[in-house]
Structure 1
């Protein structure tokens, strides 16, 4: 790893332990928590009952992990909830509310085709603030700053933006008109525009430029709508003259959701650089910290995203498809060949910015066929020499270009970006 900050990987026996992921991987001022299934850690089996019991068990597992590293649930800044049935969200919300005492984290909720364990109805992962940092940083009392604006839709179970240290996490935005509180009329183009307008309104409310976004996640009800989404998307990025000059685009992942809240066609969340940090970091630092975007010819390039966007102590890697970087065409072969190619592309990107695969702190894997997970795991573990990253795996109805697998990653960045050391 470049730089002196240490990646800290930990497991507790009070939550299910996995052979192919680490429960929590801390680096700098964040902890990345692996997706938790509704598994009783004592029996290793899915708990009895329905969605209420399963949602509670997922959150109990996350709470056990969080407390095992001397944190509390109110340190959570971001939650992702993946459901087998979106109609269960109301029951999930009632359970969810009981686990937080302060402001809610940002949140993304979607129905997916499949989860990695038979009988599981829900899976939840999390991102945790880590004020003490990791060695050799000195502990500090950074403040989590949760904010809402009237100019974007509010939710009773999430906060629009939660800033901590040098990042803001933006809750998934649905195509809701903030004035009426209702879904806008129109098709996927109109809905995409509204989602992005809502994100922009949130950023404007905290005086952050739209081009400070480092990662975008787009959830689509129909993956065939992607071209229409891209048509609208490119009118929002780049947003400023500086970004247009640099041709800056965030890293990006597109996910096929089986269903979305309110039966929306699209939902978008974002990770945003936060140059001024949170108290007691100095506000005057804001414009001195650099977003460093990079592409390499050794991995597939896209006109719609940057392969890796580094800011402060993290790199965000755009979702990689099993494409040959020389031809930008899907590699021939089955899931074995495809997962190898995805990981080779990530490795090429990571190495192009002078990092190694063991600097990865979080991996997200989408599979067309969840039954392929055993094959994926055998290949996956060969790409790491040390502790495995935190990880989330979902089964989806479709993947761009008809691929069988898609993988994105978050990478520790010990060297930071200027003016950090």
Structure 2
């Protein structure tokens, strides 16, 4: 928790990268990860978008990431995950050309999605998650020697531009899976149901290849071309979760976020991304730290409940929360009012979830905001600063064409967990 200074948040900014266009930090480190704010193609000297097209914009995004990473004593190959948001899916090839120059040999896990709008009317926005070998625990033994483990299997789709899974410390980060048949390299036949099944099968194959059970997933992000397909997706989803007798006995399902994509690679209807616990950690974790760390899932009455997701799932030093819609937990309905009231309700729900697990808003390391109308961000920031007056968390903001329940805003967060989750006795 925030009061525990032994393992505390470390928010940092550098003058050599663009100042945040809102109340947030460029990077927030906690334990063995640095969480970077999504980078827009802003020239740090002018504070404006760089001139040119998507190629120049992608280059500026990556340069900004590299500058931030180097300012905290890291290198670009410490990136574990890259998330690319484009305004037009046709621009991905141009972005990839630039991407290869920054990752010529090692490639991180990756997610690519087209969304309805980006801040400042940018064509591209890129986000990175960085390993943090030294961690934020002062003088922790062995932590500086932790290594990244990369893995790809022929039983899931291979992509030259991304690694299927990169594990570091106690988490595996999986590349977003498209509904590709690994044998043919093509989309599976059928509609959204078949495509959802294939995405989840691919994730399962990747996890089996590293000897990790499916129920070790702590967070799922579903990107949907048509949000109206969610019921069909859910029908398939419930055949995969819970996956084991143990998980069924406690009705365990991961935390979850559903995001409307304006388009996906290969014209897919769905793409699924997973964050996975990694009980054994990466070498050279001390033996007592490696085995039997438990997943702690929690729901409470003061925030909206959903049978398909857990409000918060903690593992090791992080809590992953399900995306919060502006729902009143008592009525289950969207709160009255406009985006201001809705933003307030989303953040109230997050606060209620955190308080139910003895955490506070100051423990949030990363905030993801999805807006029906990107122009609403100024109004949202008015509310946001009342919950985060210090502007500490890193942040991502994207505009989407639709949100579940016709909401105007949806927010999810990643939260520090200073006490960690206990060893199984």
Structure 1 contact 2–354 (Cα < 8 Å) conserved: no
For structure 1, list consecutive stretches of 5 or more residues without a partner in the other structure.
none
Which residue of structure 2 aligns with residue 404 of structure 1? 408
Q: CA deviation at 1:102?
A: 3.7
> Hey, what's the Cα distance between the residues in 2 that align with 1:208 and 1:102?
26
Q: CA RMSD in A?
A: 1.2
Which residue of structure 1 aligns with residue 13 of structure 2? 11
What is the correspondence of 1:199-278 to structure 2 with a 5 Å cutoff?
199-278=203-282
Which residue of structure 1 aligns with residue 31 of structure 2? 28
How many residue pairs are counted as aligned between the two chains? 419
218-227 vs 2-11, greater mean Cα deviation: 2-11
> Hey, what's the Cα distance between the residues in 1 that align with 2:19 and 2:388?
18
Matched, 1:148 2:152: yes
> Hey, what's the Cα distance between the residues in 2 that align with 1:101 and 1:277?
27
Which residue of structure 2 aligns with residue 182 of structure 1? 186
Residue 77 of structure 1, aligned match among 74, 80, 98? 80
Q: Deviations over 1:232-266 (max 9, x none)?
A: 00000000000000111100000000000000000
Which residue of structure 2 aligns with residue 193 of structure 1? 197
What is the correspondence of 1:1-400 to structure 2 with a 5 Å cutoff?
1=2, 3=4, 4-18=6-20, 19-118=22-121, 120-138=122-140, 139-282=143-286, 286-400=290-404
Q: CA deviation at 1:327?
A: 1.2
Structure 2 contact 385–391 (Cα < 8 Å) conserved: no
Q: Secondary structure at the match of 2:340?
A: helix
Q: CA deviation at 1:101?
A: 4.1
Q: CA deviation at 1:223?
A: 0.1
> Hey, what's the Cα distance between the residues in 2 that align with 1:137 and 1:367?
41
Normalising by structure 2, we get a TM-score of 0.97
Q: CA deviation at 1:387?
A: 4.2
> Hey, what's the Cα distance between the residues in 2 that align with 1:282 and 1:238?
31
277-286 vs 386-395, greater mean Cα deviation: 277-286
Normalising by structure 1, we get a TM-score of 0.98
* Bigger share in strand: 1
Q: CA deviation at 1:281?
A: 1.5
Q: CA deviation at 1:419?
A: 2.4
> Hey, what's the Cα distance between the residues in 2 that align with 1:419 and 1:289?
4
Task: Pick closer, same or farther for the CA change 1:137–1:354 going to 2, 3 Å.
Answer: farther
For structure 2, list consecutive stretches of 5 or more residues without a partner in the other structure.
none
